C-alpha cells in the first residue's frame, strides 16, 4: 500500500475508508506506531489513547483520527491542561465538541501538549516539558495549542482541536505551517473546555488544508444548552462555497499590523500574499484600527482577571493534586502553590490585583472600556470591507528559551489578541517560508520556517474567511 500516513487529509482518509483500503482500527494502530517512533523528540502528545476504535458511527467523519488539546475533556482520557495540579486527572465526561465528533464517527489518537491552562505562546509553560517545532527542534511550535499544531504539521494526526483565547490556535498554526481557525465567539460550545478566560475562549480546528477546517467547523458549531453563550444558528455547510471566486471582494489591510516589530522577511511574504489576493480580483485598501496599539494591554488585564476567577476551583479538595495541610486554609495554600506553575500564579495574582477594591476602576473597568473601543474599530472597518488581512505573528518561530520575561512573550500575540477581544472569527493559512538563518557562521541554512497569513472576518462570517483562505491556498 503506497499510503503516506503523514500527508493524509480528512478527505484522503474518507476515500481510503470508502474504498476499504484501510479500516479505522488499522489507521489507529499505524498512527500509534508512528507516534511512538517519532514523538519522543517532538513531544506533541502528553498521552495516547490505546483503545482500538470499534464500531464507529457512519457519519461525515467516519474513521478520522484526531488529536485533542489536553484542556478539552474526552471521557476516560487524561485532562491535565498542561498543569501539575491536574496531573492524574481523567475526564469523567465528554466536552460537547467531543460528543459531536464521536457522533460524526471520528476517533482520538491522544491528548496534546499545551502551555499550562493555555497560558502562553510557546508550550514552554507546560508542566510536562515543551513541544518542539517540527521544522526546527531548537524552536518552539508556538502556543498554547503547540502540541496540536506540531502533531498536525509532523503528520502525527490528520487534524486536531485547539483552543484560542488570544491567538492560541492561529499563532502555533502560523509557526508550524498548518491551517488554524478560531471561530466567532459563540459559534462553538465551550462546555468541557477547561476555562481560561470565559469571554474570550473558543475551540477550533488545526488542519492540513482549508477544506478540512471548514469540514470540522460543520461538525463543531451549533447552539448548546450546556453553554448559554453559544448563539442560535442554522445548520450550515462551510465547505459548500469554498471555491466561489473572490473577485470584487473588499479586503482591508490595517496599517497598525505592518508597523514596528514586524520582521522584514515576514512582511515581504505577507505583502506578496496580499498581492496574490489582488491578482485573484480582490480590492485591497489600507485602513486604520486606531485602538489596536492598546489591545495587548487590554488583553493582559481582562484575561488574567477572568483566569483568576476560573482557576479558583482548583483547591486541592474536589479533584486533582492535593497537598494536605494542618487546616483547610493550609490545604488550599499548599495545593495551589505547588500545583500551579510560575506563569499561572503570576496571572492569578495579576488578575486578583486588577479586580481588587481600589484597583478595579483603574485596571479592569478601564480595560473593559478599551475593549469596547477595539471592538468598534473593527465594526467601522467591516461597514465597508468583507475581510481584514495581515500577518498572524510578527516573527517566525522563536528559539526555545529565547523569550525572557513575561512581556516579551506576550508581544508574540500582538495581531491575534484584538480578534478575541472583538469576538470575531479569524484563520491563519500558510503563505510561504523564510530561511531559517544558521546559528553559526559555517552552517548552511538547511531548514525553512513557515509564515501564516491571518484573515479576519465579520461576526459569524466564517464562510467568507474560509473562502478567501481556500482561494489563496489553491492559487499558491
Partner 1 sequence: MIDIKDVEYMAGLARLELNTEEKKKFQKDLGSVLEFVEKLKRLDVEGIEPTTVGAESANVMRADEPRSKYDSETVKKMLEQLPDRKDDFVKVKSILNKN
192-231 residues in contact with partner 1 (CB under 8 A) are 198-200, 225, 228-229, 231
> What's the rounded Cα separation, in Å, for the pair 448 and 415?
22
Q: Is 292 a catalytic residue?
A: no
> What's the rounded Cα separation, in Å, for the pair 449 and 55?
40
How far is C-alpha 179 from the geometric centre of its chain's CA atoms?
10
User: Is residue 288 within the footprint of partner 1 (CB under 8 A)?
Assistant: no
Q: CB under 8 A: which stretch of 32-40, 155-163, 167-175, 369-377 binds partner 1?
A: 369-377
What's phi and psi for 117, nearest 5 deg?
A: 50, 30
User: Is residue 87 within the footprint of partner 1 (CB under 8 A)?
Assistant: no
Window 332 to 351, contacts with partner 1 (CB under 8 A): 332-334, 336-337, 340, 345-346, 348-350
Query: Would you say 101 and 18 are in contact if contact means Cβ atoms under 8 Å apart?
Result: no
> What's the rounded Cα separation, in Å, for the pair 239 and 236?
9
Q: Which is nearer to partner 1, 89 or 99 (CB)?
A: 89
User: Is residue 366 within the footprint of partner 1 (CB under 8 A)?
Assistant: yes
User: Is residue 317 within the footprint of partner 1 (CB under 8 A)?
Assistant: yes
Task: State the DSSP string of 134-158.
Answer: TTBTTB---SSSHHHHHHHHTTSSS
User: Is residue 360 within the footprint of partner 1 (CB under 8 A)?
Assistant: no
User: Is residue 92 within the footprint of partner 1 (CB under 8 A)?
Assistant: yes
User: Of 163, 168, 174, 322, which residue is the catalytic one?
Assistant: 168
Q: How many CA atoms lie within 13 A of 271 on its CB side?
A: 11
User: Is residue 93 within the footprint of partner 1 (CB under 8 A)?
Assistant: yes
Q: CB under 8 A: which stretch of 20-28, 87-95, 263-271, 438-446 binds partner 1?
A: 87-95
The owner of cell 453563550 is: 229
Q: Which is nearer to partner 1, 137 or 346 (CB)?
A: 346
Q: Which is nearer to partner 1, 38 or 199 (CB)?
A: 199
Q: Which DSSP state fits 300?
A: H
User: Is residue 47 within the footprint of partner 1 (CB under 8 A)?
Assistant: no
Q: Which is nearer to partner 1, 175 or 410 (CB)?
A: 410
Of residues 2, 326, 383, 444, which one binds partner 1 by CB under 8 A?
326
Q: Is 69 a catalytic residue?
A: yes
What's phi and psi for 198, nearest 5 deg?
A: -65, -25
Window 373 to 412, contacts with partner 1 (CB under 8 A): 373, 375, 405-407, 410
User: Of 78, 126, 144, 148, which residue is the catalytic one?
Assistant: 144
Q: Is 20 a catalytic residue?
A: no
> What's the rounded Cα separation, in Å, for the pair 168 and 323?
31
User: Is residue 459 within the footprint of partner 1 (CB under 8 A)?
Assistant: yes
Q: Which DSSP state fits 235?
A: -
Buried b (16+ CB within 10 A) or exposed e, 24-50: beebbeebbebbeeebeebbbbbbbbe
Catalytic sites, residue numbers: 69, 144, 168
Amino acid at each position: 500500500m503506497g499510503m503516506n500516513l503523514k500527508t493524509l487529509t480528512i478527505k484522503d482518509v474518507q476515500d481510503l475508508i470508502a474504498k476499504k483500503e484501510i479500516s479505522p482500527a488499522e489507521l489507529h494502530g499505524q498512527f500509534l506506531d508512528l507516534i511512538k517512533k517519532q514523538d519522543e523528540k517532538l513531544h506533541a502528545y502528553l498521552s495516547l489513547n490505546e483503545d482500538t476504535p470499534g464500531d464507529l458511527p457512519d457519519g461525515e467523519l467516519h474513521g478520522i483520527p484526531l488529536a485533542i488539546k489536553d484542556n478539552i475533556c474526552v471521557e476516560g482520557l487524561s485532562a491535565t491542561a498542561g498543569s501539575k495540579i491536574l496531573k492524574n486527572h481523567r475526564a469523567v465526561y465528554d466536552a460537547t465538541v467531543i460528543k459531536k465528533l464521536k457522533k460524526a464517527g471520528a476517533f482520538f489518537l491522544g491528548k496534546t501538549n499545551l502551555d499550562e491552562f493555555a497560558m502562553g505562546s510557546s508550550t514552554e509553560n507546560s508542566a510536562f516539558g515543551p513541544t518542539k517545532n517540527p521544522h526546527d527542534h531548537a524552536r518552539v511550535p508556538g502556543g498554547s495549542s503547540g502540541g496540536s499544531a506540531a502533531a498536525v504539521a509532523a503528520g502525527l494526526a490528520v487534524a486536531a482541536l485547539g483552543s484560542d483565547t488570544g491567538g492560541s490556535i492561529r499563532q502555533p498554526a502560523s509557526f508550524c505551517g498548518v491551517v488554524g481557525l478560531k471561530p466567532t465567539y459563540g459559534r462553538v460550545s465551550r462546555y468541557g473546555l477547561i476555562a481560561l478566560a470565559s469571554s474570550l475562549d473558543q475551540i477550533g480546528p488545526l488542519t492540513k488544508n482549508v477544506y478540512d477546517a471548514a469540514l470540522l467547523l460543520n461538525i463543531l458549531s451549533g447552539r448548546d444548552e450546556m453553554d448559554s453563550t453559544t448563539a442560535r444558528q442554522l445548520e450550515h455547510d462551510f465547505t459548500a462555497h469554498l471555491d466561489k471566486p473572490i473577485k470584487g471582494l473588499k479586503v482591508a489591510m490595517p496599517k497598525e499590523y505592518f508597523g514596528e516589530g514586524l520582521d522584514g522577511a515576514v512582511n515581504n511574504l505577507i505583502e506578496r500574499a496580499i498581492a496574490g489576493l489582488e491578482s485573484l480580483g480582490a480590492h485591497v485598501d489600507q485602513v486604520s484600527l486606531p485602538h489596536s496599539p492598546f489591545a495587548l494591554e487590554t488583553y493582559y488585564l481582562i484575561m488574567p482577571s477572568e483566569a483568576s476567577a476560573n482557576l479558583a476551583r482548583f483547591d486541592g479538595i474536589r479533584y486533582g493534586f492535593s497537598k494536605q495541610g494542618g487546616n483547610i486554609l493550609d490545604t488550599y495554600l499548599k495545593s495551589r502553590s505547588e500545583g500551579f506553575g510560575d506563569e499561572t500564579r503570576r496571572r492569578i495574582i495579576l488578575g486578583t490585583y486588577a479586580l481588587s477594591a481600589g484597583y478595579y476602576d483603574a485596571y479592569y473597568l478601564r480595560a473593559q472600556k478599551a475593549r469596547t473601543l477595539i471592538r468598534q474599530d473593527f465594526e467601522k472597518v467591516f461597514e465597508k470591507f468583507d475581510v481584514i488581512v495581515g500577518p498572524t505573528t510578527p516573527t517566525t518561530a522563536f528559539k526555545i528559551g529565547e523569550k525572557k520575561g513575561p512581556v516579551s512573550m506576550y508581544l508574540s500575540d500582538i495581531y491575534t489578541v484584538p480578534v478575541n477581544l472583538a469576538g470575531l472569527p479569524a484563520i491563519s493559512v500558510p503563505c510561504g517560508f523564510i530561511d531559517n538563518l544558521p546559528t553559526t557562521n559555517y552552517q548552511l541554512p538547511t531548514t525553512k520556517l513557515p509564515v501564516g497569513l491571518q484573515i479576519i472576518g465579520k461576526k459569524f462570517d466564517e464562510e467568507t474567511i474560509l473562502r478567501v483562505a481556500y482561494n489563496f491556498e489553491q492559487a499558491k
